Amino acid sequence: MESKKITLTTDGLKKLEDELEYLKTKKRKEVSEKIKVALGFGDLSENSEYDEAKNEQAQVELRINELENMLKNVEVIGDDDIDRTKVGIGTRVKILDVEFNDEEWYTIVGSTEADPTSDENKTISNECPLFMAMKGKGVGDTAVLDTADGPIEYKILAIE
């Protein structure tokens, strides 16, 4: 069974690699120490510290496995691959909500990197409906997002 390709920017790839390195080198050791300390408390049948540490160890190993599998199937969008004349993965886009006259900047990234709630650098996924409405459009173009409450019109003001 072939795994789905994970699309990342170079920054996104670095973040995942850094997280994996941290989990393997530092977090594993921290959890291992917690287990050793908890084992010193004696009877494992009623040792909540031991149970907690073992659960944390399982979570860390699960995340390491998840990251390693993601990194095996990664497709990196480098700076040279980005067409800054059209909305696409890796571009930073300034859009105007026509109805509310509200401007917002978004960076288009792969779904693994997306964080639309961040105040400093809002990112949206290449799989989200807003991106799909804007994909391939240029500065001055209008994108229409169909919602349950009716269409929302956005004007593309800038692309970086």
Which residues have CB under 8 Å from 57's CB, separation 6+? 31, 32, 35
Beta-strand pair 74-77/6-9: parallel
The residue-averaged pLDDT of 51-67 equals 95
pLDDT given for residue 2 in this prediction: 55
Distance CA 78, CA 92 (A): 14
48 assigned to some structural domain: yes
Q: What is the CATH number of the domain that holds 145?
A: 3.10.50.30
What three-state secondary structure class fits 66?
A: helix
Last residue of a domain, one of 24, 59, 77: 77
User: 153 lies in which domain range?
Assistant: 82-159
Count of structural domains, the chain: 2
Sequence-ordered alpha helix ranges (H) in the chain: 10-22, 28-39, 48-72, 129-134
1 assigned to some structural domain: no
Beta-strand pair 92-97/150-159: antiparallel
Residue 63 has pLDDT above 50, yes or no: yes
The answer, as to whether pTM is greater than 0.85, is no
| 65 lies in the same domain as 124 | no
Last residue of a domain, one of 77, 104, 125: 77
Beta-strand pair 142-147/150-159: antiparallel
User: For all residues of the chain together, what is the average pLDDT?
Assistant: 91
Q: Give the Å distances, CA to CA, from 64 to 46, 117, 130.
A: 29, 25, 31
pLDDT single digits (tens) 83-136: 889 999 999 999 999 999 999 999 999 888 888 787 777 899 999 999 999 999
pLDDT given for residue 156 in this prediction: 97
Which residues have CB under 8 Å from 36's CB, separation 6+? none
